[in-house]
Amino acid sequence: MPLITQENQDVLDQLHQKLGENWQIGTPLGIGKPNPLINTLYQYVAAKPDIEMSLFTALSLEVPKGDSLLEQRFLAAFTGRHFKDYPELTYIEDIKHNRVPKHIHLKEFYFQSGQFLGVKSAQQNYISCNYTHVARDMVNQGINAIVQMVAVDRRGSETCYSLSCNPDLTLDVVRIAEYKNRPRPLVIAMVNEALPFLEGDAVVKTDFFDVIVDNPANYFAPYAAPARPISTIDHSIGLHVSSLIQDNGTLQIGIGSLADAVVYSSILRNNQQQTYQNALTALNIIRRYGQLIAEQGGTEPYEKGLFAASEMFVEGFMHLYKAGIIKRKVYEDADIQNLINQGQISEQVAPTTLSILREQGIIQQHLTEKDVQRLQQVGIFKDSLTFSQDNLYDAEGQKLGHDLDNPKHLEKITAHALNSKLQNGAVLHAAFFLGSKRFYQFLRDLSEQERDLFLMTPVSQINQLYRTEAIDRVQRINARFINTCMKVDITGAAVSDTLENHQVVSGVGGQYNFVAMAHALHHSRSILMLRSTHGSGKKRESNIVWQYPECTIPRHLRDIVVTEYGIADLRGESDQVCIQRLICIADQQFQDDLRKTAVQHGKLSADWRIPEQHCHNTPKNIVKALQTLQQDGLFEAFPFGQDFTDQELDIINALTWLKKQQSSLWKKFKLIVSALFVGADKDMQPLLEMMQFQQTRGFQEKLMRRLFIRALKQTT
């Protein structure tokens, strides 16, 4: 039995005894970190230079602080409310300020986007590898302990534990260590009653842990990412992508406003058909891509629905589930799942179900104990049945027989053994989750029956076809793996994680795995989304570029790329066709330069011209096309709710406007001059108080106050 202890310090003393002076610690990415325990661990080792410690992790979530004075003041007010009582990871600030002791090595394989740009120690200790290979690499580097936050269910006679948000790597690390005959890492759990309890492989027995720390002082609300606004450009991308999703299929999406835009348009497609068709017409999507959509996607409601197979269980899946889109159930039997796919059997169990299974050789004329267990696993047979001495018995002990060719046996089996519907189906498999407070509450409020629909698995199970390929292939039919990238070069290679100077923005994560899997699975596609440009004014750049020194997805895995201006289907096409199609979805400002460069280097015929229908790719035209629909309350910035108060939104709008006015020195000068002559209105006082501008000291603070007032006058 694990030791149930009350003090974090006690655990570290035991850890010291067992590990000696060499600590190789793994802790989950995202919200699965036991922050109070990690902070104690970090401080403990920092004070003991004799201990050499490496901490392997990813996605160390940080409460946003802001860069400018205005951003810092706004975020201080917002985070004080939204992240109240959230225990921040103390090592993050030490990394940023180069204060990490020399005997501690913090190694991450995925950063919170942009978090450690320019931070030397973080950039130097970054580990670049596919998500599915992280567990292997951690074992190879000698990981000897795992510390993880876990959920608890005390409702039954026995306390149950779940790895909840992070079965992703912990299970794989333990499995790989055992396979390689390496010592099993110590597994230390910190219970947090605020963490939602999820099912699947995440549920483990008590003896899986070496130590369980269960102390109410450690309970805290998990990190909840604030909702990000969906811009009109994002909505255009999401609308295009939604038409490529095939009914009776499989879906993977990530986090962020582009993924939210896909979710929003998919719900429109399912629940507001006329509005959806109007939006498609407004952007000329069917006229330009009708044949591709007919072959690869669809625009009608999701009659059969989708199954979610995603490394990350994001809030978008909650919305799709509530909208009746995530509803296609899959079962852990490849042969039976294949029959469901073919339409030979359905979720409804009938006497003919047994006949079909027998015809297909899945069960025998004379039922065996193995047959019975198999049929019980998918819910064709009731769980209450028993098989003894070559006969099937119901819950009351009545003998039902075993010979399916015997009319009496078959009659009894049909009457007493069959369920009315298949059981134990799931609508989602995922390896970790992260989202908003609304999302966590949804997970906590799931009924016991609903909870079984959402199964958490190791990352090796979900991100590749490594462990149960036969089942994965029949479960993940018609898959659409939808991800975001930063840039695409003109031949279809994509970069999603790193700048041209090798500074890491985020990480590879599972993107490569899903792109490769799209090529490995029949009737499946990878869709990479990106905004066609970034920056503004003279700093405006195209995200479709001639070439780029970094690469996350090589061009030989090119598939579908979507910008706000359209869809480029690149799979199996020549370089010239790929170049043409990518130029067609680039911003008008950069199209001709891309064309000329391609011609210059002999990759594009000199007589090719951009088709007329693709010559008007400007943000203004996108905004104009969706304007009428937006005036009717559609394609809003926060269609799924938001985490800001009305006053906070007023401040955000003002700060956003201010940022746009500083794209050049001349604009900055005009802005400052105009701000010198403004005064605050009475109704601005609450906002000024939130920004701590009741009284100002020094020239900079006084100028910031006037700039803020100027922005409020413009935006409120």
pLDDT in tens, 185-194: 999 999 999 9
What is the bridge-based pairing of β-strands 541-542 and 391-393?
Answer: unpaired
Q: What's residue 667's pLDDT?
A: 80
CA distance 624 to 232: 10
Residue whose tokens read 């819950």: 395
CA distance 320 to 322: 5
Average pLDDT over every residue of 218-227 = 95
**Residue 614 to residues 285, 518, 621, Cα–Cα distance (Å):** 12, 28, 12
- Which residues on neighbouring strands pair with residue 423, listed in sequence order? none
Q: What is the CATH number of domain 3-218?
A: 3.40.1080.10
- Going across the sheet that includes 560-563, the strands are 199-200, 454-456, 428-433, 306-313, 249-252, 479-484, 525-529, 560-563, 566-569
Contacts of 263 (CB under 8 A, 6+ apart): 238, 253, 316, 319, 320, 640
CA distance 8 to 35: 11
> Could you tell me the pLDDT band of residue 680, with boundaries at 50, 70 and 90?
confident
- We find that the CATH architecture of domain 232-329+427-614 is 3-Layer(aba) Sandwich (3.40)
pLDDT tens per residue across span 506-563: 999 999 999 999 999 999 999 999 999 998 888 899 999 999 999 999 999 999 999 9
CA distance 373 to 267: 39
Q: What's residue 3's pLDDT?
A: 53
CA distance 413 to 392: 8
Average pLDDT over every residue of 324-338 = 97
What are 506's two structure tokens? 């985020």
CB 265 within 8 A of CB 241: yes
Model pTM score: 0.94
Q: What's residue 157's pLDDT?
A: 85
Torsion angles phi and psi, residue 311, rounded to 5: -60, -30
Identical fold between 3-218 and 232-329+427-614: yes
Contacts of 112 (CB under 8 A, 6+ apart): 59, 60, 61, 62, 506
DSSP 112-123: STTTTTT-HHHH
Determine which of 141-155, 432-446, 615-629, 642-656 has the lowest per-residue pLDDT on average: 642-656
> Could you tell me the pLDDT band of residue 1, with boundaries at 50, 70 and 90?
very low
pLDDT tens per residue across span 555-592: 999 999 999 999 999 999 999 999 999 999 999 999 99
Packed helices 273-282 and 257-271: angle between N→C axes, nearest 10 degrees: 120
**Residue 208 to residues 148, 162, 185, 284, 603, Cα–Cα distance (Å):** 12, 11, 11, 56, 57
DSSP 364-405: -SB--HHHHHHHHHTTSB-TT-EEETTEEE-TT--EEESBTT
**Residue 631 to residues 268, 619, 627, 634, Cα–Cα distance (Å):** 16, 18, 6, 7
Domain boundaries, the chain: 3-218, 232-329+427-614, 334-416, 646-715
Share of the chain above pLDDT 70, in %: 99
What are 519's two structure tokens? 């090529």
> Could you tell me the pLDDT band of residue 6, with boundaries at 50, 70 and 90?
low
